[in-house]
């Protein structure tokens, strides 16, 4: 099994820039799939107090562990990027294959497969790559324009001992201040990249973290980790919760009775060991208070995957982790349950953010991040429940891969336009018909808070203030809900706030407090509407047949043929389904070559003997860049032919070292040096080497070294390797022809890939 080998930043840049110029793509994502904003719409959000241009992002997983993955997520429109989870045990042997998106989605994946130090360089490198893309204007003067605000969100696991260990602490500190890594990477930017060497790269890669705990992590451990992260690491924290919080009966009812996934079996153990709902209800407010006391923010994330018994044969483990359509329904029901208990709290706010002090309070929802079966069709619902960010994984592993992201944003845009909502707050308030109810709840809480805070106030003044809230604030807002399409909610809220300054009959300190609270009016309306929308949208989703087994039981089609080194049905599905950009297309010369073998005898000219036919039927061929392939198996699931593209297609390595270590029965390394191209290759387990320049081709197999005219023909010289004793040696020319065609095809500069970019 090959290991992931990070690709150096200059090589990634070289590929991206050349590929864009020559093929209009970056890492195989066509430029038409780059997110360039939605005309007239503002999709920006705030997460842990930071701005992001969209609420969308990849969930910590296969789409954000390498530089190229993160860049692709970003190009597709992701702006809150939850980086793949790191942990102290960074030399794990993860079972392969590990991803099975046969229909709904299962995995036995775990944390980052790179060492901690490598992950750090990948994440910092990705941040630098994005800055270089922006600065270069490669994608146009207006790219990304005002739509580039991006948040990198760390993810660490899995227990307090590991997370508080010196190595993981140092890792988090380096993410908070990456100056040293950036300075290490700067000198690697040479040649055309030298102009970006002194770019002002933001040193703070991240100061937010989403906590991933083990399935079965006890409450005390979770609380201990979050407290550590908030206090000692000074981070904003999001706690990822498990779907087991719904309770076994409820989960089974939804899975079996409602959705019809009768094959899926949960284990009692998972429910017994995981955090209990009552514990979560006590723990989250406690941690929230702790966060506020430290000037930090706490969010919750729904949800982790669900542990189910392995009823298939794809993985060898006894259990596997469920994702996709059924998890979407389970998780939304869990959000509903959670919000029934901890939906809204009433807290003072200032300038739209929760304040640590102040007098008059507004309702506020616990910030909620979401991941579970997100796709372009349900993103609108999820945004309307005020989930920030909405993160996706399973859907991006399907055909189209990262190119699917743009549809998420486009469909969200269509829904915003249909509601006349130019900004996401307006969209949330309008989406499920709960706008007026949200206005009532907010004004009700304002009045309650006024009364509670100013118990000794003059009753005439209090009445005047309450009448102003009912008659002016509520009326204006409700009018906006009914007929204000096209006018941003922000404008109405600003008018109300200004009204409190200039026209409201509000005296003294009471007016001051109310004005302070009104600065958070829009956010309060969004929070309340998001919570009010939840039961409506959860019911609608639970009843929607698109999430049921009947509509998800189909499996990718297999056609019964076997993959070989060359030729296949060319569906190209294996390229975008790979999260690591490991599979690629190259062009070759279709040929049917009748070839001779040669008998080589000392002192004699080579003698032709019958060989065979080397046939390549198609010009369009597939290959794999093994250094970026972690054998996850996803391309095998979607390939209509048998064998697995990552196993049967030529596997190219990035160095002689990794080729020698992992080349196996079908591996290649192409070295471009001093005008000569050398390909090292293992075909069906036998090792070969071919070096070519304009004058000669030198071919080595296990027994002999042979010089062949570059345009073909009989060997002009040969020698047998020491230890090989034969007076007459039969040279099989098929491997030579295979290598020659491969190297000539791969170095074709019209197609840029990881195997040839070093020589372009």
Read off the DSSP letter of residue 467. Answer: H
Contact letters for ligand SF4, residues 649-688 (x by CB under 6 A): x---------------------------------------
Among residues 423 and 649, whose Cβ is nearest to ligand SF4?
649
Give the nearer residue to ligand SF4 in terms of CB position, either 29 or 568. 568
Closest contact distance (angstroms) between CB of 406 and ligand SF4 is 21
What are φ and ψ of residue 14, in 5° steps?
-60, -45
In what side-by-side order are the strands of the sheet with 728-731?
607-616, 591-601, 728-731
Nearer to ligand SF4, 573 or 751 (CB): 573
Phi, psi at 718, each rounded to 5°: -160, 160
Give the shortest CB-670-to-ligand SF4 separation in angstroms.
18
Residue whose CB is less far from ligand SF4, 5 or 245: 5
Q: Is 38 in the site for ligand SF4 (CB under 6 A)?
A: no
| Shortest distance, position 62 Cβ to ligand SF4, whole Å | 8
714 Cβ neighbours under 8 A, 6+ residues apart = 598, 605, 606, 608, 708
Strand partners, 369: 301
**Contacts with ligand SF4 in 310-369 (CB under 6 A)?**
none
The region of 181-189, 261-269, 282-290, 639-647 touching ligand SF4 under the rule CB under 6 A is: 639-647
Q: Which ranges of 253-361 would DSSP assign to H, the alpha helix?
A: 268-273, 277-293, 325-342
Considering only 492, 517, 639, 683, the residue that binds ligand SF4 (CB under 6 A) is 639
Least distance to ligand SF4, CB of residue 96, Å: 8
Strand partners for 387: 368
Work out how close the CB of 578 gets to ligand SF4 at its nearest, in angstroms, rounded to a whole number: 3
Rule CB under 6 A: is residue 521 a binding residue for ligand SF4? Answer: no
Q: Whole-number minimum distance, CB 631 to ligand SF4, in Å?
A: 5
* The dihedral formed by the CA atoms of 473, 475, 477 and 480, expressed in degrees to the nearest 10: -150
CA distances from 601 to 363, 604, 707 (A): 91, 5, 15
Instruction: Report helix, strand or coil for 303.
Output: coil
Q: To the nearest whole angstrom, how small is the minimum distance from the Cβ of residue 712 to ligand SF4?
A: 29
Choose between 570 and 601: whose C-beta lies nearer to ligand SF4: 570
Q: Which of residues 456-515 bind ligand SF4 (CB under 6 A)?
A: none
Q: Whose CA is closest to 680, among 641, 652, 647, 706?
A: 652
Positive/negative CA dihedral, 276, 282, 285, 286 = negative
- Residues 605-634 contacting ligand SF4, CB under 6 A: 622, 624, 629-634
* Of residues 512 and 556, the one with the C-beta less far from ligand SF4: 556
Cα distances (Å, whole numbers) of residue 225 to 284, 301, 367, 511, 667: 13, 15, 19, 42, 44
Beta-carbon contacts of residue 456 (< 8 Å; ≥ 6 apart) = none
Which residue lies nearer to ligand SF4 by CB, 442 or 632?
A: 632
Residue 635 touches ligand SF4, criterion: CB under 6 A: yes
Stretch that binds ligand SF4, among 22-30, 155-163, 638-646, 674-682 (CB under 6 A): 638-646
Q: Which stretch binds ligand SF4 (CB under 6 A): 407-415, 433-441, 548-556, 641-649?
A: 641-649
Residue 702: partners with Cβ closer than 8 Å, 6 or more residues away? 686, 687, 721
Nearest distance from C-beta of residue 639 to ligand SF4, angstroms: 3
- Minimum distance from residue 113 beta carbon to ligand SF4 (Å): 10
CB 697 within 8 A of CB 740: yes
Q: Residues 205-231, buried b or exposed e (16+ Cβ, 10 A)?
A: bbbbbbbbbbbbbbeebbbbbbbbbbe
Tell me, letter by letter, the H, E, C secondary structure of 654-706. Answer: CCHHHHHHHCCCEEEEEEEECCEEEEEEEECCEEEEEEECCCCEEEECCCEEE
Q: Which residues contact 672 (CB under 8 A, 6 or more apart)?
A: 747, 758, 759
Question: Per CB under 6 A, which of residues 551..590 are in contact with ligand SF4?
Answer: 563, 568-574, 577-578, 580, 582-583
To the nearest whole angstrom, how small is the minimum distance from the Cβ of residue 477 to ligand SF4? 50
Residues 264-303 that bind ligand SF4 (CB under 6 A): none
Q: Which of residues 187-216 bind ligand SF4 (CB under 6 A)?
A: none
SS3 per-residue string spanning 542-592 = HHCHHHCHHHCCCCCCCCCCECCCCCCCCCCCCCCCCCCCCEEEEECCCEE
Task: Give residues with Cβ within 8 angstroms of 183, minimum separation 6.
Answer: none
CA 582/CA 493 separation, integer angstroms: 50
Shortest distance, CB of residue 105 to ligand SF4, whole angstroms?
14
Exposure of 318 by Cβ count < 10 A (0-12 exposed, 13-18 middle, 19+ buried)?
exposed
Query: Least separation, in Å, of the C-beta of 320 and ligand SF4?
Result: 17
Residue 690 near ligand SF4 by CB under 6 A: no
- Least Å distance, CB 620 to ligand SF4, is 8
Cβ 627 to ligand SF4, closest distance in Å?
A: 11
At a CB cut-off of 8 Å and minimum separation 6, what does 554 contact?
Answer: 103
Residues that contact ligand SF4, how many (by CB under 6 A): 28
CA angle 563, 566, 569 (to 5 degrees): 55
Residue 585 exposure: Cα atoms within 13 Å on the Cβ side: 21
Least Cβ distance, residue 101 to ligand SF4 (angstroms): 10
Q: Is residue 641 close enough to count as binding ligand SF4 by CB under 6 A? A: yes
Q: Measured between alpha carbons, how far is 385 from 369 in angstroms, rounded to an integer?
A: 10
Residue 527 or 631 having the CB closest to ligand SF4:
631
Tokens 């690491």 found at: 233
* Residue nearer to ligand SF4 on the CB measure, 162 or 640: 640
**DSSP states along 111-129:** S-SS-HHHHHHHHHHHHHH
Nearer to ligand SF4, 137 or 558 (CB): 558
Q: Could you tell me which residues come within 8 angstroms of residue 44 by beta carbon, excluding any fewer than 6 positions away? A: 51, 52, 53, 54, 149, 423, 424
Cβ atoms of 83 and 212 within 8 Å: the answer is no
CB of 185 to ligand SF4, least distance (A): 25
Nearer to ligand SF4, 315 or 549 (CB): 315
| Minimum CB distance to ligand SF4, residue 648 (Å) | 8
Q: How far is the CB of 192 from ligand SF4 (least distance, A)?
A: 29
400 or 640: whose CB is closer to ligand SF4?
Answer: 640
Using a 10 angstrom Cβ sphere, with 0-12 exposed, 13-18 middle and 19 or more buried, the burial of residue 164 is: middle
CA angle, residues 565, 570, 575, in degrees to nearest 5:
85
Residues that bind ligand SF4 (CB under 6 A): 563, 568-574, 577-578, 580, 582-583, 622, 624, 629-635, 639-641, 645-646, 649
């Amino acid at each position: 099994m090959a290991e992931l080998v990070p690709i150096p930043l200059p090589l990634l840049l070289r590929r991206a820039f050349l590929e864009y110029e020559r093929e209009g793509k970056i890492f195989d994502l066509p430029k038409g799939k780059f997110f360039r904003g939605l005309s007239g719409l503002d999709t920006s959000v705030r997460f842990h107090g930071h701005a992001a241009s969209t609420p969308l992002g990849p969930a910590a997983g296969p789409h954000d562990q390498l530089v190229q993955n993160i860049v692709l997520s970003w190009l597709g429109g992701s702006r809150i990027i939850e980086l793949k989870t790191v942990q102290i045990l960074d030399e794990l042997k993860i079972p392969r294959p590990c991803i099975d998106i046969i229909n709904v989605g299962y995995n036995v994946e775990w944390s980052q497969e790179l060492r901690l130090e490598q992950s750090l360089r990948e994440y910092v490198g990705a941040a630098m790559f994005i800055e270089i893309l922006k600065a270069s204007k490669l994608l146009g003067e207006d790219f990304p324009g005002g739509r580039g605000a991006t948040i990198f969100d760390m993810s660490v696991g899995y227990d307090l001992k590991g997370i508080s260990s010196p190595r993981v602490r140092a890792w988090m500190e380096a993410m908070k201040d990456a100056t040293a890594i950036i300075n290490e990477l700067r000198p690697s930017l040479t040649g055309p990249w030298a102009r970006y060497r002194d770019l002002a790269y933001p040193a703070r890669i991240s100061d937010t973290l989403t906590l991933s705990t083990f399935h079965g992590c006890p409450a005390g451990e979770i609380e201990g980790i979050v407290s550590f992260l908030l206090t000692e690491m000074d981070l904003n924290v999001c706690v990822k919760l498990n779907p087991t919080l719904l309770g076994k009966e409820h989960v089974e009812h939804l899975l079996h009775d409602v959705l019809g996934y009768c094959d899926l079996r949960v284990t009692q153990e998972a429910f017994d060991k995981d955090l209990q709902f009552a514990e979560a209800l006590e723990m989250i407010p406690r941690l929230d208070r702790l966060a506020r006391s430290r000037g930090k923010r706490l969010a919750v994330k729904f949800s982790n995957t669900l542990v189910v018994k392995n009823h298939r044969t794809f993985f060898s483990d006894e259990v596997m982790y469920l994702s996709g359509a059924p998890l979407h329904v389970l998780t939304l029901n869990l959000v509903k349950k959670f919000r029934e208990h901890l939906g809204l709290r009433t807290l003072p706010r200032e300038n739209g953010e929760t304040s640590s002090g102040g007098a008059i309070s507004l309702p506020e929802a616990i910030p909620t991040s979401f991941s579970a079966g997100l796709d372009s069709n349900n993103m609108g619902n999820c945004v309307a429940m005020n989930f920030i960010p909405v993160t996706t994984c399973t859907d991006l592993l399907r055909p189209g891969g990262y190119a699917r992201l743009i549809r998420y944003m486009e469909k969200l845009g269509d829904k915003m336009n249909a509601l006349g909502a130019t900004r996401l707050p307006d969209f949330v308030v309008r989406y499920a018909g709960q706008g007026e109810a949200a206005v009532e709840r907010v004004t009700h809480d304002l009045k309650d808070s006024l009364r509670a805070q100013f118990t000794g106030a003059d009753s005439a003044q209090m009445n005047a203030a309450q009448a102003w809230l009912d008659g002016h604030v509520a009326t204006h807002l409700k009018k906006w809900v009914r007929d204000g399409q096209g006018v941003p909610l922000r404008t109405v809220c600003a008018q109300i706030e200004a009204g409190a300054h200039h026209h409201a009959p509000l005296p003294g300190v009471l007016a001051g407090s109310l004005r302070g609270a009104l600065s958070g009016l829009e956010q309060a309306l969004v929070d309340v509407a998001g919570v009010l929308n939840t039961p409506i949208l959860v019911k609608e989703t639970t009843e929607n047949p698109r999430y049921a087994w009947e509509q998800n039981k189909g499996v990718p089609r297999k056609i019964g043929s076997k993959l070989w080194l060359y030729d296949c049905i060319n569906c190209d599905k294996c390229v975008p389904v790979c999260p690591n950009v490991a599979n690629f297309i190259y062009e070759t010369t279709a040929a049917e070559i009748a070839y001779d073998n040669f008998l080589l005898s000392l002192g004699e000219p080579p003698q032709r003997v019958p060989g065979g036919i080397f046939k390549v039927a198609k010009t369009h061929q597939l290959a794999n860049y093994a250094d970026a392939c972690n054998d996850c198996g996803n391309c095998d699931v979607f390939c209509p032919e048998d064998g697995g593209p990552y196993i049967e297609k030529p596997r190219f390595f990035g160095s002689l070292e990794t080729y020698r270590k992992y080349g196996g029965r079908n591996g290649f390394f192409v070295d471009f040096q001093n005008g000569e191209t050398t390909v090292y290759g293992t075909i069906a387990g036998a090792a070969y080497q071919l070096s070519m320049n304009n004058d000669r081709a030198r071919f080595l197999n296990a027994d002999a070294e042979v010089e062949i005219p570059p345009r073909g023909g009989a060997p002009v010289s040969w020698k047998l390797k020491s230890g090989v004793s034969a007076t007459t040696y039969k040279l099989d020319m098929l491997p030579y022809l295979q290598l020659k065609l491969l190297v000539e095809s791969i170095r074709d500069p019209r197609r840029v890939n990881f195997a040839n970019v070093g020589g372009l």
